[in-house]
Structure 1
């Protein structure tokens, strides 16, 4: 079993991964970020949606939102989030290496460093290819990760996070010449201790931009935060956006 297939991990460490403040932050981003604008009626996919912290406010603004996640536990929590918010969304349990709905969406988002989960680089590329195919012409993909450049400024410093479930101790280790990151988590709850390791690929802005372009995205841009600021030495995230532009047929008509 790969780490991301373990539902016990998502349940056991949910307090650290998805604290209550993140739900409020997600709602604020949907209201204020120029990168996350979705018009009423827009067809939006949250790929690896987790507890639907972005799905609910997007649906509240009138978008037709689908959330895809591999974890049954996360999808159950996602439905609870939307029920609590009084909104409706569509949820699908699927592996993002395989999930594709040709031409269905105007916007696809992938948040909280949910890209790069897979040991085989070809699988990560397949995720982008599936997203490209699932976009309507003119649609955009937005991927939010911790880029190598941002990570380098603080990686290696152990962290402790208090949650309602206990205290989570986190330590990051760079592997394979800055190709991958292992994050070791230890949850201490009373007299019980639980360990988990998360392994993911790392990307620089140039590397992720090149990957977008290799699968066909055009107008690829990198940002340092959700306010649209540049990806520079002040960046807090690496946010990459690409567009599936319509292809021009021989007679001048747009084709998918």
Structure 2
């Protein structure tokens, strides 16, 4: 079983990955960030939606949204988040359990989002390219894909120092990152410490520079490809915090 299909990973580490603080940060991004300022009524697909951190505020803002995820526990949390956003948000939301490698709805969306470094999961590079091609097919002519990852250049600035996340119940998570295959892949090891017990899991994904992901978008058939350093639309430079790449389906 591939690591991303292990529901226990998402359940056990959800408090660290998807904290209340992060949910508040995302809600503010959806409200204020230029890269998330979609036209009124734009149909949005959140690919690998997780617990609905982007999904719920987008639905509350009036967008018809579809959340796709492979993890049923994450979809359950997304249902709770959307329900808490109100009846209008709930009516505008569809949740689908599916693999991003397979999910396609030709021409059904104006925007496709893939955020929180949910891209590059597959061992075969051709499968990661197929995810982008699926997104292009699911977009209406002129529709936009936005992919948010930790860019290779950003990661190089801080990797090597373990990160610790304290959780409200007194437990904590230690994150250790290891670069593999000459900066082609990343192994992220999470250790959850609860009292005298510990649980460890590892996440593997491809690493992309801005140039590499830009070229992958072009190979998938996107036009007008741009790279940004954060959701505010700033440049991808030495001050960047994320790598955000956008492209448009041919009109």
TM superposition score category, shorter chain reference: over 0.9
Aligned to 2:153: 149
User: What secondary structure is seen at the aligned counterpart in 2 of 1:233?
Assistant: coil
1:30-41, aligned counterparts within 5 Å?
Answer: 30-41=30-41
Q: Does 2:216 correspond to 1:211? A: yes
Counterpart among 97, 102, 106 of residue 110 in structure 2:
106
Aligned residue pairs total 246
Aligned to 1:91: 95
Q: Which runs of 5+ in 1 are unaligned?
A: 247-256
Tell me the C-alpha RMSD between the 2 structures. Answer: 0.8
TM-aligned CA deviation for residue 39 of structure 1 = 2.7
Q: Which runs of 5+ in 2 are unaligned?
A: none
Q: Deviations over 1:87-142 (max 9, x none)?
A: 21100000000000000000011110000111111110010000000000010000
User: What secondary structure is seen at the aligned counterpart in 2 of 1:13?
Assistant: helix
User: What secondary structure is seen at the aligned counterpart in 2 of 1:118?
Assistant: coil
2 CA distance for matches of 1:19 and 1:92? 23
| TM-score after normalising by structure 2 | 0.97
TM-aligned CA deviation for residue 38 of structure 1 = 2.0
2 CA distance for matches of 1:21 and 1:123? 33
| TM-score after normalising by structure 1 | 0.95
Q: Deviations over 1:38-85 (max 9, x none)?
A: 233211000000010111111111100000000000000000001111
Contact 1:38 1:58 in 2 (8 A): no
Counterpart among 184, 202, 222 of residue 179 in structure 1:
184
Contact 1:181 1:199 in 2 (8 A): yes
The structure whose residues are more often helix, as a share, is: 2
Aligned to 1:197: 202
Aligned to 2:62: 62
Q: Does 2:22 correspond to 1:18? A: no
What stretches of structure 1 move > 2 A for 4+ residues in a row?
none
2 CA distance for matches of 1:14 and 1:171? 17
TM-aligned CA deviation for residue 156 of structure 1 = 1.0
2 CA distance for matches of 1:169 and 1:21? 18
Q: Which range moves more in the overlay, 154-163 or 67-76?
A: 154-163
